[in-house]
Amino acid sequence: MSVRSLRWDGDALLLLDQRELPHREVWLRIQDWQGVAEAIREMAVRGAPAIGIAAAYGMALADGDWDAAREGLASTRPTAVNLAWALDRISALPTKSPSSILAEAETIEQEDRELNQRIGSFGADLVPRSANVLTICNTGSLATGGHGTALGIIRTAHAQGKVAKVWSCETRPRLQGLRLTAWELMQDGIAFASIVDSAAASLMRAGEVDIVIVGADRIAANGDTANKIGTYMLAVLARFHQVPFIVAAPTSTLDPAIADGSDIPIEEREGRELTEIGGESVAPENCPVFNPAFDMTPGDLITAIVTENGVFLAPYAFAKAPLALP
Ligand code: MRU
């Protein structure tokens, strides 16, 4: 099963509001680029590929205001390079009009759906039989054009009968794992248990994790990978417990212009994400908070990086990110 979380409707972008899931399926109808920018910033749409696709549709709503729209959309979330990549594709169009931009946005979305199937097939070959797979955040249909990256591999491996169980990290503080990955896994009938992020260590020590598969927001030329906060912790644990650690992402997530992860901008979000649960404050008033949304996993902790072009092993040396499927 593959949910579509965004859809074009005549003169508007329809977005499934991921802040409301899993309890309510609310569709936002957005008719200007500023609305798309706000939806990305506020995480109504999230996940690196989905952010890029939404931004491309946002440009189709810019009504000739291309430069302001490009700048406004690009500044919404700094870590996921798919955003700049999609906007670059729109900028590179020989003629810009609402219809040519819309066609390109639809192509980007369609390509993403197709290449996720390829990531799924390549990655499933790395999954052992009867595997207990640990993942973090949401990298599924909601985060992409469909199928998913890390979750796409899990889906494909599950269809091949290889997945015994998924351990799904809840993913503090926005709970993408507990709310969104759990929702997708339940719809697919894949056996799983949600865990608090800090349960990963003892599960690995107990031999309950055979492979870790995660997504990415930006991958530097040397394989250093920015992904949801907590990913680096999982990579360190995986190395200590000798569990394979796999990163799955489309080539649009590669940023070969950045030599290593130290130059990847890490988004910091407001403290309220930590101090409030369900809109209720749970911390002392004015509690100081540091809330980075992502962390950086060094490439040498990553067993393999799976893209639509195949499985890459360390040491990584990504020279260029092709714009389209080969
Ligand atoms: O803050 P989010 O929810 O946008 O973060 C998402 C992730 O970290 C994903 O792992 C990544 O974007 C890949 S989604 C296919």
Written as one string, the DSSP assignment of 13-30 is EEEE-TTTTTT---EEEE
Let me know whether 89 and 126 are in one domain. no
pLDDT in tens, 91-123: 999 999 999 999 999 999 999 999 999 999 999
Tell me the backbone φ, ψ of residue 213, rounded to 5 degrees: -130, 125
Pairing type for strands 225-228 and 218-220 reads antiparallel
pLDDT level of residue 324 (50, 70, 90 thresholds): very low
Give the catalytic positions in this structure: 217
Percent with pLDDT over 90 in the chain: 95
Decide whether any atom of ligand 1 lies within 6 Å of the 141 Cβ: no
**What burial class does residue 135 get, using C-beta atoms within 10 Å of its C-beta: 0-12 exposed, 13-18 middle, 19+ buried?**
buried
Quick one: 146 and 291 in the same domain?
Answer: yes
Examine residue 319 and state whether it is found in any structural domain, yes or no.
Answer: no
Q: Which residue, among 101, 239, 82, has the nearest Cα to 149 in the 3D structure?
A: 82
| Cα atoms in the 13 Å half-sphere on the side-chain side of 281 | 7
| Mean pLDDT, range 122-149, rounded to an integer | 98
Given a cut of 70, is residue 325 above it in pLDDT?
Answer: no
Give the mean model confidence (pLDDT) for residues 5-14.
95
If asked whether residues 261 and 171 sit together in one domain, one would say yes
Residue 80 placed within a domain: yes
Task: Write down the pLDDT at residue 326.
Answer: 38
Choose the final residue of a domain: 87, 115, 143.
115
153 lines ligand 1 (CB under 6 A): no
In a domain, 307, yes or no: yes
Same domain as 179, residue 35: no
- Please give the radius of gyration of the chain, using alpha carbons only, rounded to the nearest integer: 19
Span from the CA of 145 to the centroid of ligand 1 (angstroms): 13
Nearest protein Cα to ligand 1, atom 5: 47
CATH of the domain at 33: 1.20.120.420
Q: Which residue's CA is the closest to the ligand 1 atom numbered 15? A: 139
pTM of the model: 0.96
Q: Kindly report the CATH number assigned to the domain that includes residue 204.
A: 3.40.50.10470
Q: With cut-offs at 50, 70 and 90, classify the pLDDT of residue 1.
A: low
Let me know whether 158 and 95 are in one domain.
no
Domain count, the chain: 2
Name residue 97's beta-bridge partners.
none
Q: Which atom of ligand 1 is nearest to the CA of 227?
A: 8
- Among residues 185, 173, 298, the alpha carbon closest in space to that of 238 is found at 298
80 and 145 part of one domain = no
- Using the predicted structure, report yes or no on whether residue 145 has a pLDDT greater than 50: yes
Are the C-beta atoms of 195 and 165 separated by less than 8 Å? no
Report the DSSP pairing between strands 211-214 and 245-248. parallel
Distance 297 CA to ligand 1 centre (A): 14
* 136 CA distance to ligand 1 middle (Å): 9
For residue 179, the CA-to-ligand 1 centroid distance in Å is 14
Contact 219, 260 (CB under 8 A): no
Q: Phi, psi (5° rounding) for residue 146?
A: 155, 155
Dist. CA 184–CA 197, nearest whole Å: 19
Position 278 scores a pLDDT of 87
Q: Which atom of ligand 1 is nearest to the CA of 82?
A: 12
pLDDT for 208-242, tens place per residue? Answer: 999 999 999 999 999 999 999 999 999 999 999 99
Q: Domain limits at 51? A: 6-115
At 157-185, the pLDDT tens digits run 999 999 999 999 999 999 999 999 999 99
